[in-house]
Chain A
Amino acid sequence: MRSIIYYIREFLRPEWLKKFFFAKTAPLVTPPYFKDYPSLTGKECTGCFSCMMICPAPGGIEVLRQKDRWEPEIYPGHCIRCGLCVEACPEDVLTSGRVLDVTRHDRTAFRSWYHLEVDNTLCMRCGNCCVSCPINKQEDPQLGATGTSSSDEVIMRIEDGRVQILHEEKCTGCKTCETNCPNQAIRVARMVEGVHEEVEA
């Protein structure tokens, strides 16, 4: 008996009755704070590879050389929509939901430095890392197919049958070498810290 009264009381509430008779599903709208896959804002990409550096998903984003400019490309099957690339990009090339606006409003950014190391017991001197590195390609367009180079300005080259790292400070942490290494011998340590610009000022 008591439970019947409970049911009657529960379902005779005016708001429930109103809902029952005038039920209307709210239209499906994407809220403004929804974080979608990053899209391009149309600003010019400088090819600093910050987005590739910070991306936690393997194969989520790649900065590719189009005819005359760089352009990031997002692979939606791999992207996990974390929005870190939008935050890390210094040129506001990417946008995703409110992330870009909020990051600008908060004046937050990431600061980072990198360290390259090669495990010589795993390395088989194929030179894939030196060939695939986009900075190497810019520094020395004549880079050999086996990773040898006559330029001293490259990040790394094959010398005496092993990888020599010359200019670690030029590395942008894009981990292209890591992806292209067949043995996972080269590792890029990416040190990132989140900063707030008021702290620096």
Chain B
Amino acid sequence: MKKTVDVSIPLGPMNPCWKEPLRLKCETAGERVIRTEVELGYMKKGIERIMRGRPWQEVMFLAERVCGICSVVHNMVFIEAMEEISEITIPPRAAYLRVIANELDRIASHLIANFSYCYTIEHETLAMYLLNTRETVLDNLERLTGSRINTAYMIPGGVRFDLLPEDAAAMLADLAWVEEEMKRHVRIFETGPLIALRSRGIGVMTREEAILAHTVGPTARASGVPDCDLRLRHPTYRELGFEQVTRTEGDNFARIMVRFQEIFQSIDLIRRCVDTLPEGPIRGGGFCKAGETTYSGEAPRGELTYHIKTDEYGRVLDIAIRTPSIMNVEACAHSMIKDATSIADVTSTFISSDPCIACNER
């Protein structure tokens, strides 16, 4: 008879599957995982403390350095929070340009998330294909904003650069190529039998568990949580007729597929934005004022919340950031990984929830 030994298996903080340091302590019976505990705190930056006492033009750069993958949305949420405090309205052209930058960033972020998953389940071919596609997306972000990652594109009252017509044409051509490539990659992922063995029915999180754990973003949408995309409440996205992607399986496969579907949706949104880009100024002006607000926006990983208090000169007195991964990581440890039949599934399930530890610990 096979002897079953109860052991506690630590994964991380330095694990080849993790992109960032984090420790998962799995209590196992044989290979079966009974309980998992998350240990954070390996890369605290103290960025909220550095932000205090600074005006928006400095905090903007600090905000986007919270996360290296979804930096545009940190900029966007911070600036929109400042606009809400100061009652600044932005011209329609700037609002559309913001959506373009944000969606390009979302595509890049989803691609790197799916890359990590494919890499973790050892499908390196598809992983490298996805990274290659991401380069094109980042090139387009650079074409629009001048930088690949830390773009600092949005400022209170508008955006920094206009989209020139020849750049818009080049961007649409590149996006058409990305869409063709993505169709092929999604087909590889959807129909690959080995991928299905590692993904379908593994790490299932039911809708009740997802709601109980307050999961957000693609993780929640893959479990069928309705109405959890904050873009549904954003005025510009509502104008563009945005609809949420939802799947009901709640397993690793669904989480990756939700991201793939959102990439297509983002490409579609960018196209609609470029086609209906209104004429007019790209900056409306307006000084930041005193006030306090809590503002949320939809990051690639889910709901991102900024709580900001400013003084009468527009300097940040107090700031608190809640990033989406903190809920997803806990939900992943307590609902998805529980009862995993193999340690190999623990890493892939964890990566499928797209954890961003840099966001979590700021």
Q: Which residues of A contact B (CB under 8 A)?
A: 2-3, 6, 10, 31, 33-35, 54, 56-57, 80-84, 87, 97-99, 102-103, 105-106, 108, 111, 115, 187, 189-196, 198-199
Contact = CB atoms under 8 A, between A and B. Distances in A.
B284 interface: yes
A15 to B, nearest CB: 11
A32 B283 CA distance: 24
A194 B192 CA distance: 50
Interface in B144-188: 146-147, 150, 152, 155-158, 160-162, 164, 188
B161 to A, nearest CB: 5
Contact of B142 (A33, A111, A192): A33
Given A105-B164, A191-B313, A199 B57 contact: no
B358 interface: no
Contacts, number: 99
A88 to B, nearest CB: 9
Given A108-B283, A196-B91, 17 more contacts: A3-B192, A3-B193, A6-B188, A6-B191, A6-B192, A33-B142, A34-B142, A35-B147, A54-B57, A56-B60, A83-B160, A102-B161, A103-B161, A189-B313, A191-B314, A192-B55, A198-B280
Interface of B: 53, 55-58, 60-61, 91, 125, 139, 142-143, 146-147, 150, 152, 155-158, 160-162, 164, 188, 191-194, 280-288, 313-315
A196 B281 contact: yes
A193 B157 contact: yes
Contacts of A102: 161-162, 164
B287 A196 contact: no
Given A31-B139, A111-B285, A199-B281, A194 B155 contact: yes
Which applies to chain A's interface (DSSP): helix, strand, loop or mixed? mixed
Nearest to A57: B61
20 contacts: A2-B193, A6-B188, A6-B191, A31-B143, A34-B142, A34-B146, A56-B58, A56-B60, A81-B147, A83-B146, A84-B152, A99-B161, A103-B161, A106-B162, A111-B285, A187-B53, A189-B314, A192-B55, A194-B157, A198-B281
B61 A193 contact: no
